[in-house]
Amino acid sequence: MTPNEEKKLSLTQKEERILQLISEGKTSKEIADILCLSLNTIKWYRKKLKAKFDSSSTIQTVRKAIDLGIIN
């Protein structure tokens, strides 16, 4: 990800919350229950987040989000 791409990266509050929960080790099912969303919705968000971060895995997505200071 280039510096310009990093500046353009913007997440919704829900995306940030989901990323934070993923980084805490929550499963998709647990996240769905916490946020009162369907499991399919959480899977869609995970896929969308990987695309936004140009990542091939969830771990890579979380690592990039931490590096950018989006989550801790």
Is pTM beyond 0.95? Reply is no
pLDDT value at residue 53: 94
Which of the residues in the chain have pLDDT under 50?
4, 7
The CATH number, out of the four listed (3.40.50.720, 3.90.25.10, 1.10.8.60, 1.10.10.10), of the domain defined by the range 13-67 = 1.10.10.10
Q: Are 35 and 18 in contact (CB under 8 A)?
A: yes
pLDDT value at residue 1: 55
pLDDT value at residue 72: 84
Residue extents of the structural domains in the chain: 13-67
Tokens of 9: 């990266």
- What is the SS3 assignment for 33-72? HHHCCCHHHHHHHHHHHHHHCCCCCHHHHHHHHHHCCCCC
pLDDT value at residue 4: 46
pLDDT value at residue 49: 96
Distance CA 68, CA 72 (A): 9
Distance CA 52, CA 61 (A): 9
pLDDT value at residue 28: 97
